[in-house]
């Protein structure tokens, strides 16, 4: 039973330090994190990132930048010092840091996220970060929920509603449980304010490797199914407890779990997929909605400083 094996890993990191399960790293004289364009030879990771306690990832760089800009005044106030914002962009990813908070964009989909997480976990390890918590804040399609609703994911499932992430190594499939920290799910839900002008719910999230046919859409460049097929599939998902669809959750859950790093996923639904496929909400409303997961994570960070 894989979940038993991983239970040994989960939360078992000594002294809260990130532990990497790759003995080969010990024999590297230096490690260049190629996609982040940061290397242990040229950068003092402990000095640059050693104080980080919270890491926030999300698809786009602009959202990560906005998140750091918006949390800076509250952090500075709480820590009673004017914190500086630091930023570093490689040609693939952009990172922003203020005090104990680091935000990095992950791009779209599992491959982009998976590469980032490999390099980020190594960065966390080299920086000797202690008890870091990592979040994905993002957007998603809703399954039978009101657009604008925020979803806190309690489990990731794949397109066949299996609760794991399939990683192919040397041509062999490995199934990694897409488990998230239940306690953190409850903590995030408890941060909801009764006067928030939107609902925040807990549910399962389905991860896909495509935005169009892979999510049952009828409006891509290709479509080999009918609207009835789509509705049947959505109903099947709903029946299984799935409330939203996005493109990273199983890998995010499985890889953080494997590394023993506490992780949470919080996404806002841009539409209800039972009602359509196109996202026609105005730019302005979309931007407002995108702030909602950020607000919840900010509340968590400010409370756990
Ligand atoms: C949600 O939105 C993106 C696709 O539009 C993708 O990154 C995701 O998971
Ligand atoms: N992101 C997705 O992956 N799907 C949606 O429908 C909306 C955002």
| Confidence check: pLDDT of 166 > 60 | yes
Task: Choose one of 58, 141, 276 to mutate for the ligand 2 pocket test, by most ligand atoms within 8 angstroms of C-beta.
Answer: 141
- Per DSSP, 130 falls in state B
Closest C-alpha residue for ligand 2 atom 8: 140
| Confidence check: pLDDT of 8 > 80 | no
CA 145 from centroid of its chain's CA atoms? 21
pTM comes to 0.95
What are the phi and psi torsion angles at 278 (to 5°)?
Answer: -80, 145
Per the CB < 8 A criterion, the answer to whether 254 and 166 are in contact is: no
Which secondary structure element, helix H or strand E, spans residue 269, and what is its range? strand 262-272
What are the phi and psi torsion angles at 91 (to 5°)?
Answer: -75, -10
- Longest pairwise C-alpha distance within the chain: 58
284: left (phi > 0), else alpha (psi -120 to 50), else beta? alpha
Closest C-alpha residue for ligand 2 atom 6: 141
Closest C-alpha residue for ligand 1 atom 7: 108
**What residues line ligand 2, using a CB cutoff of 6 Å?**
139-141, 211, 215, 245-247, 270
Ligand 1 touching residue 138 (CB < 6 A)? yes
Specify the pLDDT at position 19. 77
Closest C-alpha residue for ligand 2 atom 1: 140
3-state secondary structure of 134: strand
Q: State pLDDT tens for residues 24-38.
A: 988 899 999 999 999
Q: State pLDDT tens for residues 139-160.
A: 999 999 999 999 999 999 999 9
- Per DSSP, 225 falls in state S
Specify the pLDDT at position 16. 84
The residues facing 55 across adjacent strands are 102, 134
Q: Which of 268, 257, 267, 250 is nearest to 110 (CA)?
A: 250
In angstroms, the CA 253 to CA 126 distance is 22
Q: State pLDDT tens for residues 53-70.
A: 999 999 999 999 999 999
């Amino acid at each position: 039973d894989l979940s038993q094996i991983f239970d040994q890993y989960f939360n078992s990191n000594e002294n809260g330090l990130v532990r990497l399960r790759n003995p080969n790293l010990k024999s590297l004289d230096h490690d260049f994190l190629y996609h982040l364009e940061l290397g242990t030879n040229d950068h003092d990771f402990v000095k640059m990132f050693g104080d980080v306690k919270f890491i926030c990832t999300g698809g786009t760089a602009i959202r990560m930048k906005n998140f750091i800009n918006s949390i800076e005044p509250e952090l500075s106030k709480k820590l009673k010092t004017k914190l500086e914002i630091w930023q570093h962009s490689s040609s693939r990813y952009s990172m922003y840091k203020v005090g104990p908070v680091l935000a990095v964009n992950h791009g779209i989909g599992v491959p982009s996220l998976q590469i980032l997480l490999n390099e980020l976990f190594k960065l966390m390890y080299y920086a000797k970060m202690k008890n870091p918590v990592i979040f994905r804040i993002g957007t998603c399609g809703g399954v039978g929920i009101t657009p604008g609703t925020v979803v806190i994911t309690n489990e990731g499932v794949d397109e066949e509603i299996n609760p794991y992430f399939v990683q192919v190594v040397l041509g062999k499939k490995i199934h990694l449980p897409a488990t998230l920290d239940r306690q953190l799910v409850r903590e995030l839900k408890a941060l909801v304010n009764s006067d928030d002008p939107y609902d925040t719910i807990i549910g399962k999230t389905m991860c896909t490797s495509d935005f169009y046919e892979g999510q049952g859409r009828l409006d891509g460049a290709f479509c080999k199914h009918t609207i009835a097929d789509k509705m049947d599939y959505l109903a099947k998902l709903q029946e299984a407890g799935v409330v939203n669809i996005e493109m990273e959750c199983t890998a995010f859950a499985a890889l953080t779990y494997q590394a023993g790093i506490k992780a949470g996923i919080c996404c806002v639904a841009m539409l209800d997929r039972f009602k359509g496929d196109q996202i026609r909400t105005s730019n302005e409303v979309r931007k407002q909605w995108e702030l909602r997961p950020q607000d919840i994570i900010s509340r968590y960070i400010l409370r756990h400083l």
